[in-house]
Structure 1
Amino acid sequence: MEYVIEMLNIRKVFGNFVANDNITLQLKKGEIHALLGENGAGKSTLMNVLFGLYQPDGGEIRVKGKKVNIANPNVANDLGIGMVHQHFMLVDTFTVTENIILGSEPKKGGQIDIERAEKEVRELSERYGLAVDPKAKIADISVGMQQRVEILKTLYRGADILIFDEPTAVLTPQEIQELIQIMKALVREGKSIILITHKLKEIMEVCDRVTVIRRGKGIGTLNVSETNPNELAALMVGREVHFKTEKQPPKVGKPVLEIEDLVVKDSRGITAVDHLHLTVHAGEIVGIAGVDGNGQTELIEAITGLIKSESGSIRLNGKEIRNLTPRQITETGVGHIPQDRHKHGLVLDFPIGENMVLQTYYKEPYSKRGILNFKAIYDKARQLIQEFDVRTPDEYTKARALSGGNQQKAIIGREVDRDPDLLIAAQPTRGLDVGAIEFIHKRLIEQRDKGKAVLLVSFELDEIMNVSDRIAVIYEGKIVAIVDPKETTEQELGLLMAGSKRKEAGVSS
């Protein structure tokens, strides 16, 4: 059997930490091959070795049967290997074309031949059905489009082996479907794809084979047609995973969060939250369902004090908190798991231990008269790291070195530990694997069962259906319907989210 890529017994060590422990992965020509594992299992490390960003400490790599030494990404490019990174490597102020040709610019008379480049980019875009405007500025296009630019960048450099690193983590459901079609088109053209993911649904839909790794070790390679999501989840996590969250009926108490007639404008001055009303009680989880861009982000930022609102009322336990500072709101009893963990959740260059006290560092025992008590800080961090199963070499490791799932567990540990009356969870499981998702859902339900109010915002409909006690549908900045998850369907919710009226959606109000 001829493989286009063979990674044989690859070993990669960082200090005392073995990230890849003799892993083998073999890619056939013209297949989509999934690399599946939990957050922090070593998937990205293995692919960074293949792309030349890391050098292996053991094992060998063969490309089309020939042993190679991939010293850096330029060597990988020369071998026809391209990588679409999870965090895009694009210059915001450049156009699509300028980003694509960066480092391999076509010249004409000593100058960059931008016209020729734009023509080539347009032709490539049309050939693969990518529908990208070569003249558009990166800053002006959607996340899904930016990803297509990353794909074009690899194709422009002649890649016929493409590595996709968690490509759907930041996409809407519609963009995910479009990406799947693009991947199928690439394979029809003779490309071969390695897809790093932990989304079992996508593997079942688009992949031919799947290699599972767990805690740095290769568990095995299976044909997708001969497996199922339950088997893959168990191989990946090392135990049976429950996709349906078990919970008792809610014991609903007094109103904790009361929002009346709230108006919030976005950064461009356009009304994003439009006279919105919503109440969340103690002992319940209210899920907000909506298509991205219907005011969810502005609503959460207004409740947590990250942006000012124009008018209306936000009360916590009867006390007006609208337009207070984030710290005043936090101290009133609000916990916030932000939707962008890197921007608003963590200081990435701080140790994970110090990130654990970002909301409380100015209080005793963590500081006294303005002097930080590092022993108390790191004692607390160790306790939370253990309690919330944050997998990190130690509490002094920088936050950016942790996988997404472990960063998220750290934030949840910090917020839940403060015992807030209202816990706001925005996209709490975005980009996480089934084991981490199960863990986080349990923690949200635990908070509810302790009599706390939980406001969950998510684009994952199955998450909203699975975890919420009531679902509020947001459309164009208004709550247009409140439904019981036991009495609705994803199709019905989808129609409401798209703006159809309750009767049309078949829901009685």
Structure 2
Amino acid sequence: MDNDGGGDVSEQAPGRPPVASGEQPPPAIRLTGITKRFPGVVANRDVNLTVAAGSIHALIGENGAGKSTLMKTLYGMHQPDEGTIEVSGTVKAFRSPAAAIDAGIGMVHQHFMLADQLTVAENIVLGAEQADRGVLNLGRANDMIRRLGKRHGLPLDPDRLVEELSVGERQRLEILKVLYRGARILILDEPTAVLIPQEVTELFTNLQALRDGGVTIVFISHKLDEVLEISDDITVMRAGTTVATVKPGDVDESDLGTLMVGSELPTPSLEPHLPSDTVALQTVGLTLTAEGGRRLLDDVDLTVHQGEIVGIAGVEGNGQQELIEALLGLRHPESGEMRLDGADLRPMSTRQRRDAGLGYVPTDRHREGLVLGESLWSNVMLGHQGRRYRRGPWLRRKAARADTVDIIDSYDVRTPGSDIPALALSGGNQQKLIVGREMTAEPTLLIAAHPTRGVDVGAQAAIWEQLRIARGDGLGVLLISADLDELIGLSNRLLVIFRGALTADLDPSHVTPEDLGTYMAGRRQEQVA
């Protein structure tokens, strides 16, 4: 095997038994009877999964269906209580991710794990450095990275800083990181969640090239149209076990939805609804500048009426997060106005803004939305201790518990009860809890940042329905999402943000995801309302 990480794709993977000429190779992965128990719950039960070598195999299912637990077991993050793992025909018992990596398995997580201030090469070699007598040989690593990128159709300049990369290039970098470590089996967790359509097309081209070169890919996604497009086989999980493996040519999205959740797929389309003339949120000339003079927000004029959903589309890193933080009081713009229901937000603290009716579904549920070690009912109080759950000096714990029970029921949060810690929930169920918490507080304006990211179609339906009801009751919503179908289907108006400026104001009923992608990539509308 070459010493450039990943080896030549035509070579035999390490540890694979020899295959006689003309014989089919053993499956890249065979999981048999996998069962994993945690206190009070069986996360995986008698799971059987076979992934052919050199194929793209999709794994789909509702939140809480057991996909993440199964992949963590395969990746050595925990061990099964029952069952066997075979990799390329050899039984394995991984005690750590390092052992899985040594066996040629790599995992690319949904949230990028990159250091922005380091170069492409420095990120790739971190933890797997090429050294001569204890001194890092970055030049040799750069050569290896260039050859690896050329071989797999994933070219990147090793000397570029990560902060300069587009989202699609960062995705490419994450894949190169695991290939550099010798991965022949890739686990991709929601790899298209933050990509625009053009970047998805490029990623799929790269994945097909990897597959054709002999790399095996496990593709985890909630986007069923993409699963049908890219996969050779699809396995569906439900309630902790595998229920079916199908060929994409034999099913459609409705069939997959029925296998996953037992009902037809929802759509994000809402019936026509005219917003009120009353303004819920308004910004005028909002400007925020980074050190060095770069505009993070560039003269942003934005209006959201009561009973209106205004969508913000844009490649991540173009000012969406800075706009959110300015509205929440976490950043302080140099100029501009911000008003919530007519009240000036600028002198208010973050807590005062929340008490005034500003709701927030955060971009990152772990860092901003939850205290993972605390109970569900404690998390329901977060951000609302000052207005909803306080009576004099006392916290209203009984009210929080009652609201939590209602949220669990209304949003189908899969949990044994309201007293368990948030970390015990799957990511999608954590998201449903957060959305329920913010909607229950009856805000004047809701900032919904990626409200259905990482949730299954059933949870999407619940969230979309709650947004529809709340909009009809007069809620103004600022919807920031990477799901273009969601933006087009839910928004009354659709704005595009590029390099901190609003560059297009579009009618959702007359725009396609492909058109929207061109605006997100930098095309400007002649006039933005």
Is the TM-score greater than 0.5? yes
Query: In structure 1, what is the equivalent of residue 16 of structure 2?
Result: none
Aligned counterpart in structure 2 of residue 301 of structure 1, from 290, 304, 325: 325
Query: In structure 2, what is the equivalent of residue 424 of structure 1?
Result: 447
Whole-angstrom CA distance in 2 between matches of 1:99 and 1:387: 43
1:361–1:367 CA contact under 8 A, matched in 2: no
Query: In structure 1, what is the equivalent of residue 95 of structure 2?
Result: 71
In the alignment, structure 1 residue 438 sits paired with structure 2 residue 489 = no
Structure 2 CA distance for partners of 1:152 and 1:474, relative to 1, 3 Å: closer
Secondary structure, counterpart of 1:242 in structure 2: coil
Query: In structure 2, what is the equivalent of residue 451 of structure 1?
Result: 474
Query: In structure 1, what is the equivalent of residue 238 of structure 2?
Result: 214
Aligned counterpart in structure 2 of residue 36 of structure 1, from 29, 52, 60: 60
Whole-angstrom CA distance in 2 between matches of 1:237 and 1:319: 44
Structure 2 CA distance for partners of 1:92 and 1:394, relative to 1, 3 Å: farther
2:268–2:486 CA contact under 8 A, matched in 1: no
State the AA in 2 paired with 1:443. Answer: Q
1:88–1:146 CA contact under 8 A, matched in 2: yes
Whole-angstrom CA distance in 2 between matches of 1:496 and 1:102: 35
Query: In structure 1, what is the equivalent of residue 342 of structure 2?
Result: 318
In the alignment, structure 1 residue 468 sits paired with structure 2 residue 491 = yes
Whole-angstrom CA distance in 2 between matches of 1:306 and 1:330: 12
| Structure 1: gaps (5+ residues) | none
Structure 2 CA distance for partners of 1:17 and 1:267, relative to 1, 3 Å: farther
Deviation at 1:271, TM superposition (A): 2.2
State the AA in 2 paired with 1:7. Answer: L
State the AA in 1 paired with 2:282. Answer: E
Query: In structure 2, what is the equivalent of residue 48 of structure 1?
Result: 72
1:61-460 → structure 2 map (5 Å cutoff):
61-90=85-114, 95-136=119-160, 138=162, 141-266=165-290, 269-363=293-387, 365-366=389-390, 368-369=392-393, 372=395, 374-460=397-483
| Structure 2: gaps (5+ residues) | 1-23
Structure 2 CA distance for partners of 1:267 and 1:398, relative to 1, 3 Å: farther
Structure 2 CA distance for partners of 1:377 and 1:122, relative to 1, 3 Å: same
1:302–1:322 CA contact under 8 A, matched in 2: no
Secondary structure, counterpart of 1:33 in structure 2: strand
1:267-286 CA distances to partner (integer Å, 9 max, x unpaired)? 66422333232222222212
Whole-angstrom CA distance in 1 between matches of 2:484 and 2:223: 14
Deviation at 1:61, TM superposition (A): 1.7
Secondary structure, counterpart of 2:58 in structure 1: strand
Deviation at 1:405, TM superposition (A): 1.7
TM-score by length of 1: 0.90
Whole-angstrom CA distance in 2 between matches of 1:110 and 1:494: 46
Whole-angstrom CA distance in 2 between matches of 1:200 and 1:176: 14
Whole-angstrom CA distance in 2 between matches of 1:274 and 1:99: 31
1:266–1:298 CA contact under 8 A, matched in 2: no
Structure 2 CA distance for partners of 1:180 and 1:457, relative to 1, 3 Å: same
Deviation at 1:476, TM superposition (A): 4.4
TM-score by length of 2: 0.87
Whole-angstrom CA distance in 2 between matches of 1:25 and 1:339: 33
Deviation at 1:100, TM superposition (A): 3.6
2:270–2:489 CA contact under 8 A, matched in 1: no
Secondary structure, counterpart of 1:3 in structure 2: coil
1:179-226 CA distances to partner (integer Å, 9 max, x unpaired)? 222211111111111112221122122110000001212110001121
Secondary structure, counterpart of 2:255 in structure 1: helix
Over the matched positions of the two proteins, sequence identity in percent amounts to 45
Whole-angstrom CA distance in 2 between matches of 1:59 and 1:405: 26
The count of residues paired between Structure 1 and Structure 2 equals 505
1:366–1:376 CA contact under 8 A, matched in 2: no
Whole-angstrom CA distance in 1 between matches of 2:110 and 2:83: 26
List 4+ stretches of structure 1 deviating above 6 A: none
* Structure 1 vs Structure 2 CA RMSD: 2.8
**Greater mean alpha carbon deviation, residues 394-403 or residues 232-241:** 394-403
Secondary structure, counterpart of 1:210 in structure 2: strand
Secondary structure, counterpart of 2:28 in structure 1: strand
Whole-angstrom CA distance in 1 between matches of 2:234 and 2:204: 16
Structure 2 CA distance for partners of 1:363 and 1:128, relative to 1, 3 Å: same
Deviation at 1:375, TM superposition (A): 4.6
